Amino acid sequence: MVNKMVNKLRKNLTERQKKVLDAIRKFILDNGYSPTVRQLGEALDIANPSAVFKHILSLEKKGYLERVQGEVRLAGFPAPLETQARVPLVGLVPAGLPKEVFDVSGEAVDIPEWMVGRRKGNIFCIRVDGKSMVDAFIDDGDWVLVERTNSANSGEMVVTLLDDGSTTLKRLKMKDGEVLLVPENPEFEPIKVKELKVLGRVIGVLRKY
């Protein structure tokens, strides 16, 4: 019943709007973060940033996108059961003070397949412990989808293994040869690391209200 109500609230898309939405979804799945207007324009071969922004506004009005602090995000929409993907769960990962490395739980969770995309089989899910990433909309107890990788770009949110064997979830910042794991909460201090050991990068957040 809820799914039908949500679908009725969404207005039909033009072919051009469908291409824009697909490009945004693909960029997020490929990179783990939302595209800028310029990056989206490059993906769509649209040179005028104003034209790209008009498409974003149209999709926002129709309920397919939302903007949070200037960042474009896909509005959560329901997926039928046949488009679910099964993702393994692992233990707690701290978004606060680093803790010992997580263990595989042997459990799994079903999530909408569009959140996984082509990375199916290379995604795991962790439960966040702590509040160091609340300003990035990741709170204590949230489930976070992580793509397995040993590399990441500056600005991405990553799960890393520290020299003492502990793990933490932070935003990666690299500048002038300095590597920092930066919290999204002013109550926590950045962690400076000499050697970065990335376990994965964040591609999505699951939350139950």
Active site residue 170: yes
Q: In the CATH scheme, what is the code of domain 2-72?
A: 1.10.10.10
pLDDT bin (cut points 50, 70, 90) of residue 64 is: confident
Q: What is the pLDDT of residues 78-100, one digit of tens each?
A: 433 446 777 887 766 766 665 54
CB 117 within 8 A of CB 111: no
Q: What is the predicted pLDDT for the residue at 173?
A: 93
CA distance 209 to 197: 33
**Annotated catalytic residue, options 50, 132, 194, 208:** 132
- Computed on alpha carbons and rounded to an integer, the radius of gyration of the chain in Å comes to 18
Judged against a pLDDT cut of 60, whether residue 17 lies above it is answered with yes
Whether 132 is a known active-site residue: answer yes
Question: pLDDT at position 9, please?
Answer: 43
CATH homologous superfamily for 85-206?
Umud Fragment, subunit A (2.10.109.10)
pTM of the full structure: 0.56
Query: In the block, which residue shows the tokens 């064997």?
Result: 165
**Distance (Å, rounded) from C-alpha 84 to C-alpha 75?**
17
pLDDT digits (tens, 9 = 90+) for 150-186: 888 999 999 998 887 788 899 999 888 889 999 999 9
Contact (CB, 8 A) for 184 and 139: no
| Mean pLDDT along residues 1-10 | 39
What does each C-alpha distance from 138 to 13, 86, 107, 109, 203 come to in angstroms? Answer: 30, 22, 22, 18, 12
Domain boundaries, the chain: 2-72, 85-206
Q: What is the C-alpha to C-alpha distance for residues 29 and 11, in angstroms, rounded to an integer?
A: 24
Q: Which candidate in 99, 166, 170, 197 is catalytic?
A: 170
